[in-house]
Structure 1
């Protein structure tokens, strides 16, 4: 006799969040690719423009490992969008400086990112959209603010761009 699967007692929140996040990331990637950027490149440009930051600080903000960050900054430099420079406050540190061309691309990519997010939210009513954002913010800053210490390293989701 075959055993019956246990009955689900709650909605599959993991699936719902994973699926919608995956679809949103793929749409974002496709939209940014039209101007030759990746989401990581966009993230680095925007955070580097906000204030003087080192490669390490930008990697932490974008939830990137050192190798991924180096590859991302190399790509930005190759395109003339950013460059590594000595810090104005600490001569030992190197910061990522956004070029004029990079600043223009960052403005364009932010419009694209905002458009992808707006399209997703516009698929809901105004009230649903406001409620979803409020609830997601509450979860992201409350109950689901920090991951559990897993016995085996779980793949970590990219952090929300600020």
Structure 2
């Protein structure tokens, strides 16, 4: 058998579109655009996520970390930043004295409302690059994949878990 030095025609033929690349690339670019836009109000994507989910209902730091797909250390750093900015604070739970919840301050609620407008704008602009009919088809198809064939990760556990959507 000879070596493959200098040979370029040995790659296997691709028979399907590279769905992994398309989803990874567009997701990465959307995340960078979102990060840059949220910086307008001094938030990270994680800070926005914590504020919005903490405003929905009383939630512990552990619950919020799970919703935002954050490990314990990242969550602590995120809540520390929110507290330092005066946007949220750790408080004892009203229903379980042993638990501590993340309570959003009035200023935090104001910033969360503004940051949600920014998130909505970034999503609207991304989808606006497509004709309306294609937007609707794309969203329907992605929802169908997210709720069906691609709803549950492979059990081998080698890939990082994607953020789970709360219903």
TM-score by length of 2: 0.92
- 1:46 and 2:52 are equivalent in the alignment: yes
What secondary structure, in the 3-state scheme, does the structure 1 residue paired with 2:41 have? coil
User: Which consecutive residues of structure 2, in runs of 5 or more, have no partner in the other structure?
Assistant: none
User: Which consecutive residues of structure 1, in runs of 5 or more, have no partner in the other structure?
Assistant: none
In 1, are the aligned partners of 2:38 and 2:45 still within 8 Å (CA)? yes
What secondary structure, in the 3-state scheme, does the structure 2 residue paired with 1:34 have? helix
In 2, Cα distance between the equivalents of 1:157 and 1:21? 11
TM-score by length of 1: 0.95
Deviation at 1:94, TM superposition (A): 0.4
**CA root-mean-square deviation:** 1.4
Equivalent of residue 155 in structure 1, options 144, 157, 160? 160
In 2, Cα distance between the equivalents of 1:109 and 1:145? 28
Deviation at 1:149, TM superposition (A): 1.7
The residue that corresponds to 2:13 in the other structure is 7
- 1:78 and 2:74 are equivalent in the alignment: no
In 2, Cα distance between the equivalents of 1:160 and 1:72? 20
The number of residues matched between the two structures is 161
In 2, Cα distance between the equivalents of 1:120 and 1:41? 22
In 1, Cα distance between the equivalents of 2:32 and 2:77? 20
Equivalent of residue 89 in structure 1, options 82, 87, 95? 95
